[in-house]
Amino acid sequence: MAFYEGKEPVVTMIDRIIERLTSTPQGSVDPFWRRVESGGYQAEGCILKSTGKSGTDAIFVRLKQNSNTGIDFSMIEDYQPNVVQGLVGVTTNEGPIHTFQWGTGAQPVGASINYWLSFDKDKIILTVQGDRAVTTSFKNVLFIGLPERLYTPRAGSPSAVAHFVSRYADINLTGSSSSGDAIRGIGRGLRDRSRGALPYYRTVAMTKWKSKGWGGVVLPSDIFMYHVDQEGLRARMDGVKCLTNSASGDFRDGEEITVGSKRYIVHQAWSAGSRQNCFPTDWLAVEKIQ
Structural domains of the chain, count: 1
What sign for the dihedral angle of Cα 52, 55, 60, 61?
positive
- pLDDT per residue, tens digit, the chain (290 aa), is 699 999 999 999 999 999 999 999 888 899 999 999 999 999 999 999 999 999 999 999 999 998 888 999 999 999 999 999 899 999 998 888 888 889 888 888 889 999 999 999 999 999 999 998 888 888 999 999 999 988 887 777 788 888 888 887 554 444 444 333 345 677 888 876 666 677 778 888 887 778 888 788 888 999 998 887 767 888 999 999 999 866 767 899 999 999 988 999 999 886 555 457 888 888 999 999 76
Three-state DSSP class for residue 171: helix
Domain membership of residue 32 as a residue range = 2-288
What is the model's pLDDT at position 181?
A: 39
What is the model's pLDDT at position 203?
A: 86
What is the model's pLDDT at position 216?
A: 81
Three-state DSSP class for residue 64: strand
